[in-house]
């Protein structure tokens, strides 16, 4: 999902500053809700740190391949959302992406605004969809494959949509650009198929970890229905 250097350049990069500010604002809204409703600042900080380390590992350790206009990553956004909560996931995605750029890929830093927008806006939309497709009486550890698939599909589709937007915004509606975006989107179908299985496997493991019910590391909704 990284926007490659040169895809959007010059004055056009200014738009990414605005979208980044808006997306970080959405992430801050999710973060404030997590602090207020789910364990306070200390628990939020712990989950955010875990999410940041996880995102950094996803980018650096998991397989990623250049396809079409960008790279295909197994970002596991729905996994972070279910396991740690929307607010910590937002912080982890923003800081993990920044750390990856600072320490391993400084050539990606000019594209940070585009890339953070591509990660955070779909996360926010996914949090809204989760509220609709997962009943309040259902703890996240008990979701079905269909519910996990709905979250993964919405998140990854959002990433593809934003990557497509940046590619067309930077390069126009040329045949080559559209073909490259289509190839990239088709490759992400693999991620959409894999991510729900990863979610359910991790949630199955969480069910056996009884200490998570009382500890600050996991959000309340993971083990309990919404109040």
Q: Which domain covers residue 42, as residue numbers? A: 10-223
Give a yes or no: residue 114 inside a domain.
yes
> For residue 215, what pLDDT is reported?
64
Give a yes or no: residue 5 inside a domain.
no
> For residue 17, what pLDDT is reported?
95
Give a yes or no: residue 53 inside a domain.
yes
Region class of 28: left (phi > 0), else alpha (psi between -120 and 50), else beta: alpha
Give a yes or no: residue 1 inside a domain.
no
> For residue 223, what pLDDT is reported?
83
> For residue 41, what pLDDT is reported?
94
Instruction: Write the pLDDT tens digit of every residue in 119-133.
Output: 999 999 999 999 999
3-state secondary structure of 195: helix
CATH code (residue 57) = 1.10.1760.20
- Domains contained in the chain, number: 1
Give a yes or no: residue 26 inside a domain.
yes
> For residue 213, what pLDDT is reported?
58
> For residue 212, what pLDDT is reported?
53
State how far the Cα of 99 lies from the Cα of 159, in Å rounded to an integer: 20
Q: Go through the chain and tell me how many residues it has.
A: 227
> For residue 188, what pLDDT is reported?
82
3-state secondary structure of 208: coil
Instruction: Write the pLDDT tens digit of every residue in 23-35.
Output: 999 999 999 999 9
In the predicted model, residues of the chain with pLDDT beneath 70 are 209-215, 227
State how far the Cα of 185 lies from the Cα of 163, in Å rounded to an integer: 9
> For residue 117, what pLDDT is reported?
97
The reported pTM is: 0.92
Give a yes or no: residue 147 inside a domain.
yes
State how far the Cα of 165 lies from the Cα of 107, in Å rounded to an integer: 21
3-state secondary structure of 89: helix
Give a yes or no: residue 189 inside a domain.
yes
> For residue 56, what pLDDT is reported?
94
Give a yes or no: residue 27 inside a domain.
yes
Contact 183, 48 (CB under 8 A): no
Contact 112, 98 (CB under 8 A): yes
* Helix (H) or strand (E) segment spanning residue 65: strand 64-67
């Amino acid at each position: 999902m990284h926007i490659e250097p040169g895809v959007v350049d010059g004055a056009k990069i200014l738009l990414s500053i605005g979208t980044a500010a808006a997306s970080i604002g959405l992430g801050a809204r999710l973060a404030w809700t997590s602090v207020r409703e789910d364990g306070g600042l200390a628990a939020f900080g712990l989950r955010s740190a875990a999410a940041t380390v996880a995102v950094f590992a996803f980018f650096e350790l998991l397989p990623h391949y250049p396809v079409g206009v960008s790279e295909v990553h197994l970002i596991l956004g729905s996994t972070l959302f279910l396991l740690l909560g929307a607010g910590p996931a937002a912080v982890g995605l923003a800081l993990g992406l920044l750390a990856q750029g600072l320490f391993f890929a400084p050539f990606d830093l000019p594209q940070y605004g585009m890339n953070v927008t591509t990660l955070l806006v779909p996360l926010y939309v996914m949090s809204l969809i989760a509220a609709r497709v997962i009943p309040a009486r259902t703890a996240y550890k008990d979701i079905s494959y269909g519910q996990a698939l709905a979250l993964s599909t919405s998140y990854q589709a959002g990433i593809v949509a934003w990557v497509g937007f940046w590619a067309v915004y930077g390069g126009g509606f040329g045949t080559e650009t559209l073909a490259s975006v289509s190839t990239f989107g088709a490759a992400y179908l693999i991620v959409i198929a894999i991510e729900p299985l990863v979610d359910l496997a991790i949630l199955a493991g969480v069910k056996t970890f009884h200490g998570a019910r009382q500890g600050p590391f996991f959000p309340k909704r993971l083990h309990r229905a919404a109040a």
